[in-house]
Chains A and B, each alone.
Chain A
Amino acid sequence: MTAPMTEPMIARAADKRVLPTPFHARASALCQTNCWSSWNAYTVVDLYSTLEDEYFAIRNATAAFDLTPMAKYRISGKDGLAYLDKLMTRKMGKLTPGRVMYAAWCNDRGHVLDDGTVFHLDKNHWRLCSQERHLDWLLATAMGFDVEIHDESAEVAGLAVQGPTSCRTLKAMNLEGIENLKPFQLRYFPFDDTELLVSRTGFTGDLGYELWIEPAHAEKLWDALFIAGKPHGILPNGGQALDMARIEAGFIQAGVEFVPAAELVRPDRGRSPFELGLGWLVHFDKPIFNGRRALLEEREKGSRYRFVRLDIDGNKPGNEAFIYNGKKEIVGHITSATWSPSAKMNIALASLKMPWGRPGDELYAEIYYNRELQWNRLMARCKVVNDAFFAPPRRRETPPRDY
């Protein structure tokens, strides 16, 4: 008769493939569905309760999402800003201490390796936070710069706290002055004898924050947050609800809207920033950045693809559908799709071959759906939408109202 396995024993057993995050004990206690996913070698909850509950917590209350598996790199040294300027397609000069910037980075071919956020933590200290792992590329880019690159992915636990009551929740946690934190700002707060880093960032397009702390304090942070958030409707949310929210916000995701260039087997399958709707992140007035030559050439010769946000007729989600033009030629495909409860639209993100997706182009999504073993096919008319499907003004309000 063997003793039951303790939590650390389970973790060690799981160590072969997936790690528990520092929030694992709390998350597993709340997970009613046992739906887990592997994300960057961590096990994370896909769905805690129901998709509806979690989604509406994001949009109508507060939802907490464990984003510890994100890759986090510390960039330190006096050349840090110059380094970031070479790494990123965007001019990073405005990234002063206490600010966060969204940026994308490319290989020499001008294909996107990833997008992510850069936190200017302190003088000569930055943190790059991304979906994919990039240590090799970050180190190679450091040649010639006085910078140190350190992978701190496992040293920082992260919780996204998103939704209209998120600010009230954090105020209730005694984070003094949190209401004055503007979008893309960060601030340190004392917490449990350590420092809690809070940034007003997120992946939902809503009012929201991301909380970063040493793993040893993670559970205490979770507990404090859920106690403070209880009156404000806090729920944990898993990956499924987050995906709905980010599609509504019109955000692209690595591995979904584009294959990270470092993972490509067929090098021409990559996407440039222009082909992902990220042209606004490309600043040619910098003397050098990775991909500059290729992107200059693309600007001259034209892109191969266009990233579009689509409003599709009907209510059948168009996941992975081909997009046709008026002549019934395939001109692209959908990369992400969902029914948007907030926008009340059948929405999708798609990659179209140039020149399709111009104003006035007729586009149809070929959607297959199954009703009790009967497959149906429909050609649903699509309309290109210029902005996010759902972008509530509260996402930028400072201070936010007490929802």
Chain B
Amino acid sequence: MSKRYDVIIVGAGHNGLVCATYLALAGYSVLVVEANERVGGAAITREFAPGYSVSACAHLLFLLHPKIVADLSLERHGLKPAATDLHTVALAADGAHLTLTADAIDGNGVSTGDRAAYPLFLNKLRRFAGVLQKTFMTRPPRLAHKSMADLTALAKLGLSLRLLGRDDMRELLRIGAINIHDVLQETFENDLLKGAMGFDAVSGGNLGPRSPNTVLTCLYRLTGQLNSKGSGISIPAGGMGAVTGSLRAGAEAAGVEIVTGTPVKRILLDRDRATGVETSDGERISGAIVVSNADPKTTFMKLVGARNIETGFARRIDNIRMQGKAAKLHLALDGPPTFRGLEQTQLGQRLVIAPSLNYVERAFDCSKYGEYSNQPTMEINIPSVHDDSLAPKGKHVLSAIIQYAPYNLRAGWDAERAAFKQLIIDKLAEYAPGIEERIIASELLTPPDIEKEFNIHGGHWHHGECSPDQFMMLRPTPGAAQYATPVAGLYLCGAGSHPGGGVLGLAGRNASTEILKREKTP
């Protein structure tokens, strides 16, 4: 490895692998250095009990962009879905569940008005999400900058807003910066429906349904539907690790070298230029360009070092809001669980416990004061229903995102982890009586655990809140929002960059485009 590379990529998350492959296809020699033993970052499948595997962080595929699937021939490299267009089941403790699809609600107790409003409302939001999505494939424009590309990008954004037409434009301006609670409240009656829809807007974020900006996060989430006829939510065969597995195969086919189990200790600098990386065992690898798939705080405060960047920029990086509030629960079950009132054929859908907006808001309230939710809200998924590679025959794995679990729990996670896990299981048992007797093994990953396992500062799996202060030209912060950074030759390609979190791959792709534009060809 004493060789010199054109590009060294720190971190083999999905974005790192996407970026690596595009650059290798363009002729660069690319080395990807990954701290963990396997590639994938937060999109991995791993065993958590003998014989039981699960997508250990991200567990559903909402947003992976079809262009990336096509460009990188991921299907040829093994990517195939186990299930597509999952429905969302809004679970009710009494078993009167609602099933939500991209354009209809199935279930009892929903008024005619709600049924009629549902597709209209989603269509409207999808139109707005479309404006957002148009920006996803390009670098965000700088404000007040005279570059032609930036002016054009801003003009395009303005135009796509204009093309919404007067009524839609007014409506987007009206709801754009308010909260999802108020918007749902004025549109729908059914609490269960509103709870589940509100959950989507706050998933993975430090937000409750009444928090400002939750319409934006809702739209962000909906962009995934725009590439699909249905909900756009899928489960890859073999779990999320299969996505990054196919990315790895694609990368290696394109000539990318990948080393794993090799944490990068620091990014090497010659004055203000990145010249390579030093691994934790002291090896120095030189590269003309260094691309960081790590989150911006880890990249600058740890790998580059706060003292090696200018104070104003360091302060902006330090101020990035990225405290994780979501935990991950994994259960190994000795048989399929039974949810009250849920047909077994529905067991493989996306199950949500968010019985009302107030329920979710109260769950969030706890976290504001450094406590975990005493009534948590969650997204449950039992991938073994679709994929028998994850558990022994007849057995199952359950994967759930649990909110809210603040990174800085006041009492400390070591003292509280077991109690919180029990509380979650009890909550599950309210919906799935007897589930606790089926548990063979269990694992709870709190935000500090996520931070440690996936090397994400704050355990925030979006690499920073997706909110207007950290969006587009502000993501992660001005001065680094176009993938290039104040350190010459150092680029960002992770979810901390535009367009943001989710297993999307566009940050990696856009970063590669920017590198190809800015750096001399190999």
On whether the beta carbons of B315 and A292 are closer than 8 Å, the reply is no
On whether the beta carbons of A290 and B306 are closer than 8 Å, the reply is no
Binding-face segment, A51-59, A139-147, A179-187, A342-350? A139-147
- Which of A82, A109, A140, A145 has most chain B Cβ within 10 Å? A140
Contact string against B for A residues 277-295, beta-carbon threshold 8 Å, 1 for contact and 0 otherwise = 0000000000110111100
A-chain residues with CB within 8 Å of residue B312 when the two chains form the complex: 107-109, 140, 290
Q: Does B252 contact A (CB under 8 A)?
A: no
On whether the beta carbons of A288 and B314 are closer than 8 Å, the reply is no
On whether the beta carbons of A144 and B272 are closer than 8 Å, the reply is no
Which residues of chain A from 109 to 161 have a CB within 8 Å of any chain B CB?
109, 137, 140-141, 143-145
Bound state CA distance, A315 and B136, in angstroms?
65
Interface residues on B, range: 10 to 19
Bound state CA distance, A140 and B272, in angstroms?
19
Asked whether A143 and B269 contact (CB < 8 A) given A108-B311, A288-B307, A292-B310, the answer is no
On whether the beta carbons of A143 and B314 are closer than 8 Å, the reply is yes
B-chain residues with CB within 8 Å of residue A108 when the two chains form the complex: 310-313, 479, 486
Q: Does A86 contact B (CB under 8 A)?
A: yes
Asked whether A143 and B307 contact (CB < 8 A) given A287-B269, A292-B272, A293-B486, the answer is yes
On whether the beta carbons of A140 and B308 are closer than 8 Å, the reply is no
Taking the closest CB of chain B, its distance from the CB of A155, in whole angstroms, is 25
On whether the beta carbons of B271 and A287 are closer than 8 Å, the reply is yes
Taking the closest CB of chain B, its distance from the CB of A298, in whole angstroms, is 15
B-chain residues with CB within 8 Å of residue A107 when the two chains form the complex: 311-312
Q: For A145, give its contact among B272, B307, B318, B486 (CB under 8 Å).
A: B307
Which residues of chain B from 256 to 280 have a CB within 8 Å of any chain A CB?
269-272
Q: For A288, give its contact among B271, B318, B479 (CB under 8 Å).
A: B271
Q: Does B154 contact A (CB under 8 A)?
A: no
On whether the beta carbons of B315 and A140 are closer than 8 Å, the reply is yes
On whether the beta carbons of A137 and B305 are closer than 8 Å, the reply is no
Bound state CA distance, A25 and B494, in angstroms?
62
Taking the closest CB of chain A, its distance from the CB of B490, in whole angstroms, is 13
Task: With CB as the reference atom, state the residue of chain B lying closest to A292.
Answer: B272
Q: Does B301 contact A (CB under 8 A)?
A: yes
Bound state CA distance, A135 and B301, in angstroms?
21
Bound state CA distance, A287 and B307, in angstroms?
11
B-chain residues with CB within 8 Å of residue A79 when the two chains form the complex: 307
Bound state CA distance, A293 and B490, in angstroms?
15
Bound state CA distance, A107 and B301, in angstroms?
19
Bound state CA distance, A141 and B314, in angstroms?
8
On whether the beta carbons of B310 and A140 are closer than 8 Å, the reply is no
Task: With CB as the reference atom, state the residue of chain A lying closest to B486.
Answer: A293
Bound state CA distance, A241 and B405, in angstroms?
64
A-chain residues with CB within 8 Å of residue B307 when the two chains form the complex: 79, 82-83, 86, 143-145, 288
Which residues of chain A from 45 to 77 have a CB within 8 Å of any chain B CB?
none
A-chain residues with CB within 8 Å of residue B313 when the two chains form the complex: 108
Taking the closest CB of chain B, its distance from the CB of A170, in whole angstroms, is 38
On whether the beta carbons of B486 and A140 are closer than 8 Å, the reply is no
Task: With CB as the reference atom, state the residue of chain A lying closest to B319.
Answer: A140
Q: For A140, give its contact among B270, B301, B305, B311 (CB under 8 Å).
A: B311
Taking the closest CB of chain A, its distance from the CB of B335, in whole angstroms, is 53
Contact string against B for A residues 77-91, beta-carbon threshold 8 Å, 1 for contact and 0 otherwise = 001001100110000
Which residues of chain B from 296 to 348 have a CB within 8 Å of any chain A CB?
301, 305-315, 318
Taking the closest CB of chain B, its distance from the CB of A52, in whole angstroms, is 45
Q: For A141, give its contact among B270, B272, B305, B311 (CB under 8 Å).
A: B311
Bound state CA distance, A145 and B307, in angstroms?
7
Task: With CB as the reference atom, state the residue of chain A lying closest to B479.
Answer: A108
Taking the closest CB of chain B, its distance from the CB of A104, in whole angstroms, is 14
Bound state CA distance, A311 and B311, in angstroms?
39
A-chain residues with CB within 8 Å of residue B269 when the two chains form the complex: 287
On whether the beta carbons of A144 and B310 are closer than 8 Å, the reply is no
B-chain residues with CB within 8 Å of residue A141 when the two chains form the complex: 311, 314
On whether the beta carbons of A144 and B311 are closer than 8 Å, the reply is no
Bound state CA distance, A94 and B17, in angstroms?
47
B-chain residues with CB within 8 Å of residue A292 when the two chains form the complex: 272, 310
Bound state CA distance, A83 and B306, in angstroms?
11
Taking the closest CB of chain B, its distance from the CB of A238, in whole angstroms, is 35
Taking the closest CB of chain B, its distance from the CB of A190, in whole angstroms, is 38
- Which of B270, B311, B479 has most chain A Cβ within 10 Å? B311
Bound state CA distance, A256 and B269, in angstroms?
39
A-chain residues with CB within 8 Å of residue B309 when the two chains form the complex: 288
- Which of B271, B301, B479 has most chain A Cβ within 10 Å? B271
Which residues of chain B from 375 to 427 have a CB within 8 Å of any chain A CB?
none
B-chain residues with CB within 8 Å of residue A287 when the two chains form the complex: 269-272, 308
Which residues of chain A from 189 to 246 have a CB within 8 Å of any chain B CB?
none
Q: For B314, give its contact among A82, A83, A109, A140 (CB under 8 Å).
A: A140
Bound state CA distance, A292 and B486, in angstroms?
11
Taking the closest CB of chain B, its distance from the CB of A144, in whole angstroms, is 3
B-chain residues with CB within 8 Å of residue A87 when the two chains form the complex: 311
Contact string against B for A residues 292-305, beta-carbon threshold 8 Å, 1 for contact and 0 otherwise = 11000000000000
Bound state CA distance, A83 and B271, in angstroms?
16
On whether the beta carbons of B301 and A290 are closer than 8 Å, the reply is no
On whether the beta carbons of B272 and A143 are closer than 8 Å, the reply is no
Task: With CB as the reference atom, state the residue of chain B lying closest to A288.
Answer: B308
Bound state CA distance, A87 and B314, in angstroms?
13
Contact string against A for B residues 454-479, beta-carbon threshold 8 Å, 1 for contact and 0 otherwise = 00000000000000000000000001
Bound state CA distance, A292 and B272, in angstroms?
9
Task: With CB as the reference atom, state the residue of chain A lying closest to B306.
Answer: A144
Taking the closest CB of chain B, its distance from the CB of A44, in whole angstroms, is 31
On whether the beta carbons of A293 and B271 are closer than 8 Å, the reply is no
Taking the closest CB of chain B, its distance from the CB of A115, in whole angstroms, is 17
On whether the beta carbons of A143 and B486 are closer than 8 Å, the reply is no
Taking the closest CB of chain A, its distance from the CB of B315, in whole angstroms, is 5
A-chain residues with CB within 8 Å of residue B315 when the two chains form the complex: 140, 143
A-chain residues with CB within 8 Å of residue B305 when the two chains form the complex: 144
Taking the closest CB of chain A, its distance from the CB of B399, in whole angstroms, is 37
On whether the beta carbons of B306 and A143 are closer than 8 Å, the reply is yes
Task: With CB as the reference atom, state the residue of chain A lying closest to B314.
Answer: A143
Bound state CA distance, A140 and B314, in angstroms?
8
On whether the beta carbons of B311 and A290 are closer than 8 Å, the reply is yes
Bound state CA distance, A290 and B315, in angstroms?
12
Bound state CA distance, A108 and B316, in angstroms?
12
Taking the closest CB of chain A, its distance from the CB of B408, in whole angstroms, is 19
A-chain residues with CB within 8 Å of residue B310 when the two chains form the complex: 108, 288, 290-293
Bound state CA distance, A336 and B313, in angstroms?
34
A-chain residues with CB within 8 Å of residue B271 when the two chains form the complex: 287-288
B-chain residues with CB within 8 Å of residue A293 when the two chains form the complex: 272, 310, 486
B-chain residues with CB within 8 Å of residue A291 when the two chains form the complex: 310
Taking the closest CB of chain A, its distance from the CB of B438, in whole angstroms, is 49
Q: For A144, give its contact among B270, B301, B479 (CB under 8 Å).
A: B301
- Which of B270, B272, B310, B315 has most chain A Cβ within 10 Å? B310
Task: With CB as the reference atom, state the residue of chain A lying closest to B307.
Answer: A144
Bound state CA distance, A216 and B188, in angstroms?
71
Which residues of chain A from 255 to 289 have a CB within 8 Å of any chain B CB?
287-288
Taking the closest CB of chain A, its distance from the CB of B482, in whole angstroms, is 15
Task: With CB as the reference atom, state the residue of chain B lying closest to A294.
Answer: B310
On whether the beta carbons of A143 and B301 are closer than 8 Å, the reply is yes
- Which of B269, B308, B314 has most chain A Cβ within 10 Å? B314
Bound state CA distance, A290 and B318, in angstroms?
16
Bound state CA distance, A109 and B270, in angstroms?
21
Task: With CB as the reference atom, state the residue of chain B lying closest to A143.
Answer: B306
Task: With CB as the reference atom, state the residue of chain A lying closest to B488.
Answer: A293
Given contacts A108-B486, A140-B312, A287-B271, 6 further A-B contacts (CB under 8 A): A86-B311, A108-B310, A144-B306, A145-B307, A288-B272, A291-B310
* A–B complex contacts, Cβ < 8 Å, 27 sampled: A79-B307, A87-B311, A108-B310, A108-B311, A108-B312, A108-B313, A108-B479, A109-B312, A140-B311, A140-B314, A140-B315, A140-B318, A141-B311, A143-B306, A143-B314, A144-B301, A144-B306, A144-B308, A287-B269, A287-B271, A287-B308, A288-B271, A288-B308, A288-B309, A288-B310, A292-B310, A293-B486
6 nearest interchain CB pairs?
A: A144-B306, A144-B307, A108-B312, A143-B306, A287-B271, A141-B311
